[in-house]
Amino acid sequence: MARAKAAQQQPAATGMTLIVLVGLAIAFLLFMAFLNVVKSGSLLNETNLLYAALIFYAGAGALYLGFGVTGTESYVKFASLATWLGLLANTGAVAHRWYESGHPPFASVYEMLLSFVWTLAALTLIAEKKYGVKVIGTVTMPVAIVGVVLMQLLRTDVHPLVPALQSTWLHVHVTLAMLAYAACALSFALAMMFLIQDKMKTETFLAVTSAFTAAIYLGTLTRFEKWGGLNLVAWNAEEKSEVFLSKGVRLFVTIPDLGWLMLLALIVVTSPLAFFAISRWKKDESFLAMANRAVFVSILVQVLALVMFLTDARGGLYRSLDAEGQFSTSLAASPFILSGLVGGIFMSLLYLLLLWRREDLERLLPDADNLDRITYKTISIAFPLLTLMIAAGAYWANQTWGSYWSWDPKETWAAITWLVYAGYLHMRVTRGWRGRRAAYFAILGFGVVMFTFFGVTYLLPGLHAYA
Amino acid sequence: MTVEFRSLPRKTWQTFASIKTGVVLLILVVIFSAAGTIVLQRPITEPDDMQSAYSAQALRILDATGLTDVFHASWFIALMFLVSISIIAASIERFPNAWRYFSRPYKYAEEGFRRSLHPQKQVTIADEESGLVAAERALHSFGLRPERVVREDHFSIFAERSRISEMGVYIVHASLLLIFCGGIVDGIWGWRGSLNLNEGETSSAVEMRNGAAKALPFSIRCDSTGQENYKDGSPKKWWSKLAVVQDGRDVQKKEIVVNDPLVYAGVRFYQSSFGSNGKVDQLLLEATPVTGSGEKREIAFALNDTAPLDADTTVRFAEFIPDFAVRDGQVYRRSNQLGNPAALLVVSAKSSGQTFNVWLPPMNGVGDNAKAPFQFEPKDLKLGHFTGLQVSHEPGQWAVWGGVLLMGVGLTFVFYVVHVRFWAVPVRDPKTGKFALWIGGSANRNRDAFEQRFNDLVAKVETELKSIHKTSSSEQVETAAGR
């Protein structure tokens, strides 16, 4: 990513520079990884494969981003090559996992992410080759990278299947879910591109980016503790699980001063929105320039916040307000905050890309009508998959729990997702909703999907505890 | 006035049929069901947890509004009912048009239709017949079955495929209603409960969700039950051998596991849990006399059994505590989970009339372990197990599965089957008097791909025309030569 940014500052550089840089970076990382492999003695284990996938996806992401910035066609070739290699390594990791555990990798959040990233990379290649949406990797690859990084933090030991999961329907249900969710992710990316192609004002993206990142930090600050601390869930490294005070009540540790930093970050990421509001109110364009500068500053502060969060969460023992003694925490205990922080930085970077290279982007993307149509097509694939996923889940639930529908939170949210997309289809077909409104709907739908996938698992209790 | 009276039901009907109402209702369903996942729900959450989560007043309000049991609240059911009505009304309102469209296909392209249709194209032809034949051959080669439509003074061609696709939406809506019907049937006549059976026990009383008991018209017996573990100790499989007993006869037997229930007379028995019932099946002991040269002997007995130790002494297995704690010289039962078991043995000597309480394991200050004439060492403990069964009766589930299948079919029609139509009409240019074949096509979805197909068809018609022209001109030459 840093290299891609370096390239952004000097777009005049020849096309080869970035490729060479990314190639060197990949080679360097692979070499470092190889040293590690020699030390550990086994080449093809899951960790190494996943690491290789991460390296290739990162390289592909950088190249796609470079393509987005400079429009150099040759980047795409190398980017899809890197994606192919990443997919290959990812396939290896999936196969290894499958072989080791004796069941397809769908049984835990970690395994689901493994399959999700695989599907996403495969769909990226399909979208690129079949529909010619070359920039899609700019969005999907960073998502894949975040996915792989998250996986490193989640528990990886192979768990045998608990009795309820020993069913063919598990595989049917989860495969369908992965396909459906990946298709939803794709429709989301396409809808975003549509908005760019549809001449939506750059300021609007600015406001949304600022509001989104502000929401992330606001959410993080719900854990703010008196005198500038930040509460994080305590983590038991030996058992690889959160520490519970009693059933369902987690133990929190307070990291001193991190709360202040998050508060500062909140103020900084909100400032572009404030400048935007002022420019609207005073009808003065010069405030927009300040807003854009504020985004740049906010990225620096966000990176600082992320680094501090990473170092604080990884090392050290902290006091807790609820129990005596000192406890450690881990990144795995706060997957939401971590993905939020990374997501915020990613979103801000994407905004800068849009700000600086809008014209090139518009030239590279398919035209708005086409994007609108492809979005609809993707959803018309996602919707039947969602339906089948719910049906398979209901059938399986009927076999296991004795009821096809129990209004469990996961079930209910799957139904809500289904309804949102059903709403999209109805509005499109009967009301002729095209373009922006349809794109907003597609974006909303993906938001609900993400909540169903992650939010329900971590926030709402229920039967569906495995993932 | 009468007009208004008559139009009021009509208006209500149309309000229900409008897409706006449908969407508003859907949004309401989304909001309330989301609320139902965020607010803790009644039957699943323990009352204590509810009280600790919400203040008394908040809980009162939540309970009064039904937000603590959203999915069974009357207003939620009413909402689902309104959604059903909306789907029915919308379908009925739109169905006649669609049915007309479906049952009486538009086969002849009128002039006005010809003017506005896209895509369309005109190909010059020598005469009507050759144009029609060329169109027929081209359509045949596309795997369609063209038919000739007869008009007063000329023929035209019509061909189509997958007209059923137009009905897809109605199939999907009907399937949704079928699923709702199944849900309603289960809501009214279905029930769910649980039944815990010890090994060897027979029962016909199911404990319902609300705590009431329901008597089954037959009873169920658990012959044996067990658990298999993975190497790391986590459970791999729970199984129970069940038998259905009716009128004193075993009518059905099955070993059930999780994911594979027993079904009898529409009632399903699911394996849901397994555990030790805290009761002891058999205790194996080794008894050694403290004095004298008596031999060691092994004793195996169940609770309340008495076994002889020698001619004068007997031992009775008086009490079993699965999880014990000692306080103030008393032994307490801490829980029913097998954790820290203790057994009380009562040793009686007939001649002296003395009895000794012996605790296993020995505890300081409790019992008469030291005074007893025998010492005991526990060898093995076999515990009784129970199987936890979920019992459910869902007479509506077949409507649900039927609905699901139907929805699959409907969605396939909606998204992946395209209704394709082609028309070919020979027309004469009023100015030049020359013949042309007007070709038009329509598809109900995926129009960009269809346009390519349409262009292919036109090209095919043109090549067919050329070949017809060739053969007919060579025929003409032949006939000319024959004359």
The residue whose two tokens read 């965020």 is B38
**Cα separations (Å) of B43 from B40, B68, B71?**
9, 9, 11
The residue of chain B nearest to residue A369, with distances taken between CA atoms, is B448
Residues B31 and B29: their CA atoms lie apart, in Å, by 6
Instruction: Supply the pLDDT for residue A459.
Output: 65
Q: How far is B411 from chain A (nearest CA, A)?
A: 7
The residue whose two tokens read 């373009």 is A435
pLDDT digits (tens, 9 = 90+) for A170-189: 777 877 887 888 888 888 88
The residue of chain A nearest to residue B22, with distances taken between CA atoms, is A423
Q: How far is B79 from chain A (nearest CA, A)?
A: 15
Furthest C-alpha separation in chain B: 145
Residues in chain A closer than 8 A to B71 (CB atoms): 407
pLDDT digits (tens, 9 = 90+) for A344-380: 888 888 888 788 777 777 877 788 888 888 888 889 8
Residues B447 and A231: their CA atoms lie apart, in Å, by 55
Query: Which of A18-27, A131-140, A248-257, B235-244 has the least mean pLDDT?
Result: A18-27
Residues in chain A closer than 8 A to B407 (CB atoms): 387, 391
Q: Which among A399, A404, A416 is the nearest to B400, CB-wise?
A: A404
Chain A interface, mutation test: which of B259, B450, B451, most A Cβ atoms within 10 Å?
B259
Mean pLDDT of the residues in chain A: 78
Tokens linked to A89 = 């390594």
Say whether A400 and B259 touch across the interface (CB within 8 A). Answer: yes
Question: Which of A44 and B342 is assigned the larger pLDDT?
Answer: B342
Spell out, as residue ranges, where chain B has pLDDT lower than 50: 1-3, 478-483
Q: Which among A163, A394, A416 is the nearest to B235, CB-wise?
A: A163
Instruction: Supply the pLDDT for residue B426.
Output: 86
Tokens linked to A352 = 């800068």
The residue of chain B nearest to residue A248, with distances taken between CA atoms, is B49
Q: Which among A164, A373, A402 is the nearest to B192, CB-wise?
A: A402
**Does A5 have pLDDT greater than 90?**
no
Residues B16 and B25: their CA atoms lie apart, in Å, by 10
Evaluate whether A228 touches A257 at the Cβ level (below 8 Å). Answer: yes
**Does A40 have pLDDT greater than 60?**
no
The residue of chain B nearest to residue A376, with distances taken between CA atoms, is B446
- With CA atoms as reference, report the closest residue to A294 among A329, A318, A267: A267
Residues in chain B closer than 8 A to A394 (CB atoms): 400, 404
Q: How far is A246 from chain B (nearest CA, A)?
A: 12
Q: Which among B37, B261, B271 is the nearest to A412, CB-wise?
A: B37
Q: How far is B191 from chain A (nearest CA, A)?
A: 10
Say whether B390 and A412 touch across the interface (CB within 8 A). Answer: no
Q: How far is B137 from chain A (nearest CA, A)?
A: 32
User: For chain A, what are the domain ranges?
Assistant: 10-200+335-392, 220-333
Evaluate whether A425 touches B414 at the Cβ level (below 8 Å). Answer: no
Q: How far is B351 from chain A (nearest CA, A)?
A: 55
Upper half-sphere CA count for residue A135 (Cβ side, 13 Å): 30
Interface residues from chain A to B (CB-CB < 8 Å): 159-164, 166-167, 248, 373, 380-381, 383-384, 387-388, 391, 394-396, 398-405, 407, 409, 412-413, 415-416, 419-420, 422-423, 426-427, 430-431, 456, 460, 462
**Does A1 have pLDDT greater than 60?**
no
**Does A390 have pLDDT greater than 60?**
yes
Q: Is A137 helix (H, G, I), strand (E, B) or coil?
A: helix
Residues A88 and A91: their CA atoms lie apart, in Å, by 5
The full 3-state SS of B135-183, as one line of letters, equals HHHHHHHCCCCCEEEECCCCEEEEEEECHHHHHHHHHHHHHHHHHHHHH
Tokens linked to A186 = 């794709």
Residue B46: partners with Cβ closer than 8 Å, 6 or more residues away? none
Cβ-count burial B280-305 (b if 16+ within 10 Å, e if not): bbebebebebeeeeeeeeebebebee
* Percent of chain A whose pLDDT exceeds 90: 7
Instruction: Supply the pLDDT for residue A418.
Output: 94
Residues A411 and B374: their CA atoms lie apart, in Å, by 62
Cβ-count burial B69-106 (b if 16+ within 10 Å, e if not): bbbebeebeebbebbbbbbebbbeebeeeeeeebeeee
Neighbours of B329 (CB within 10 A): 10
Q: How far is A412 from chain B (nearest CA, A)?
A: 7
Say whether A391 and B404 touch across the interface (CB within 8 A). Answer: yes
* Percent of chain A whose pLDDT exceeds 70: 80
Residues in chain B closer than 8 A to A430 (CB atoms): 19
Say whether B407 and A387 touch across the interface (CB within 8 A). Answer: yes
Say whether A402 and B272 touch across the interface (CB within 8 A). Answer: yes
Evaluate whether B34 touches A412 at the Cβ level (below 8 Å). Answer: yes
The residue of chain A nearest to residue B233, with distances taken between CA atoms, is A160
Q: Is B42 helix (H, G, I), strand (E, B) or coil?
A: coil
Q: Which among A159, A163, A415 is the nearest to B258, CB-wise?
A: A163
Supply the DSSP string of B237-281, one letter for each residue. Answer: EEEEEEEEEETTEEEEEEEEETTB-EEETTEEEEEEEEEEEEEEE
- Asked whether the ipTM of the predicted complex exceeds the cut of 0.85, the reply is no
Instruction: Supply the pLDDT for residue A463.
Output: 45
Residues B23 and A419: their CA atoms lie apart, in Å, by 10
Instruction: Supply the pLDDT for residue A160.
Output: 55
Evaluate whether A18 touches A62 at the Cβ level (below 8 Å). Answer: yes
Q: Is A243 helix (H, G, I), strand (E, B) or coil?
A: coil
Chain B interface, mutation test: which of A239, A376, A404, most B Cβ atoms within 10 Å?
A404
Say whether B22 and A426 touch across the interface (CB within 8 A). Answer: yes
Say whether B259 and A166 touch across the interface (CB within 8 A). Answer: yes
Q: Confidence class of residue A239 from pLDDT cuts 50, 70 and 90?
A: low
Name the DSSP class of A135: T
**The total number of residues written for chain B in this structure:** 483
Residues in chain A closer than 8 A to B261 (CB atoms): 399, 402
pLDDT digits (tens, 9 = 90+) for A63-112: 887 776 666 777 788 888 888 988 988 888 888 888 877 777 776 777 77
Phi and psi angles of residue A304, each rounded to the nearest 5 degrees, phi first: -60, -45
Helix-, strand-, coil-residue percentages of chain B, each rounded to 5? 40, 35, 25
Q: Is A377 helix (H, G, I), strand (E, B) or coil?
A: helix
Residue A46 Ramachandran class (φ > 0 left, ψ -120 to 50 alpha, else beta): alpha
Question: Quick check: bond before A335 cis, omega within 30?
Answer: no
The residue whose two tokens read 């439509």 is B149
Instruction: Supply the pLDDT for residue B248.
Output: 84
Beta strands in A145-287 (DSSP E): 224-225, 229-233, 235-236, 241-242, 244-246, 249-250, 252-255
